[in-house]
Amino acid sequence: MAGHPPNVSFMYIRENKSETGAPNAGHTIQQIWVFNAIQIAGFLFNGAILLTVLLSSNVRRTPTWFGLMASWMVFTLSNLLIVGHQIGPDPGFGICLTQAGFVYASPVLISFYGVAFILQLYLTVSNVFNAAQAGAKRNVFLLLAPPVLFVGIFVEVLVQGLLDQKLVQRNATGMFCHLTQNLATIITGFTVSCAMTMMLTLEALTATIVYRNWAAFRHQTKPVRSNGMLSLTMIIRSAIFSLLSLLIIVLSGASLSIPDGSRSDAALNIVVGSLPLAVALTFGTQADIVRVWMFWKKDVLPPPAPITDSGTTADKV
C-alpha cells in the first residue's frame, strides 16, 4: 500500500514505483473524478452520521467512536487537497507536500482510533463479567494516542519533503501527492500493520468472552429500545470494520505487481478510497441512528442509559 487503514490512504502503503508525477496516458479524467466523488460522498455521509449522534438526545456513543468517525472525514479530505491540480501542471510544492503528509498520516490516525474503539468495546464486554475495570487515565490515553501518532508521521513526511523537494511528486494516477522515497511508506505500513494486529487480537478476545458467557451475555443484552447494556450487533459491526481494513491491506499488498499509474492502479485507488463509504454504511445503519432519520415516526423512546467510565451501554461504543 502506498499511503492510507488501514487506506496510506491504505492505498499508499504500497511501494512507490513511479519516478514521475505525470498521469499515464491510459489514465482518464473520469477515473479521477470518480475517485473525487467517492471521497466527497464519504465525507458527507460520515459527517451526517456524526451530526446525527451529536444532535440527537436518543443516541449515545463513546468518545472513541466519535474519534473513529472523525478520522475517516480527515482521510477523505486529505484525498481532496489537490482537486483541480490532478491533471496538467503539477500542484504547488506546499500543497503537494501537505497532502503527502496527510496521505501517510491519516491511515495511522484511522488505525489507532480503530484500536481505541475496539479496545473500549472489549473492556465494556469484559466489565459485564467483572473481568476488567475502566479508568479515566485509560480513556484519556485512548483519545490522545491516535492524534499524537498522526502528528508524528505528518512531521516526519514534512521533514523528508523539505530536505529533498524532488521526493514530493504527484502520483502517476494523478489522484494524490506522495513521496517517491520509500521510508515514509515503510514507517506508515509498519505502524498500520501493528495497529491491525492489535485490532484483530482484541476482536478475537471479545468474541471469546461472548462465546464463553453466551447465556449470561444474552441476559445482560436485552435491549431497551435504542440503548441496551450491550449490543451483539455492535460487536459484529466492529468485526466487519476490522475485516474491511484487513482486506484493504491484502489488496494493497497484491497491488505491488500492478504498474504504477495504470488503469488497474487507478481502479484499485478507487476501490480503497471507497472504504469511508463502507464505514459509514457499517456504523450509520444502527437502529437508533436510523430511527432518528425516520422523523415521520414519532414513537416515544425512553431516555438512553448514561455512559459511564465502566462502560455499561453497548450501543454507545
198 Cβ neighbours under 8 A, 6+ residues apart:
115, 119
- Specify the CATH architecture of the domain 2-316: Up-down Bundle (1.20)
Could you tell me the mean pLDDT of each successive run of 10 residues in the chain, 317 residues long?
42 42 56 93 95 87 90 94 90 95 93 91 78 58 89 95 93 88 86 90 88 72 42 82 78 60 75 90 87 71 46 44
Name residue, grid cell 474503539. Answer: 117
The domain limits of the chain are 2-316
Which pLDDT value is given to residue 286? 85
* CA distances from residue 2 to 184, 240, 249, 291 in whole angstroms, order as listed: 9, 23, 10, 39
Which pLDDT value is given to residue 6? 37
Closest CA to 75 of 5, 13, 145, 21: 5
Report the C-alpha gap between 186 and 194 in whole angstroms.
12
pTM: 0.81
Which pLDDT value is given to residue 273? 86
Q: Are 46 and 69 in contact (CB under 8 A)?
A: yes
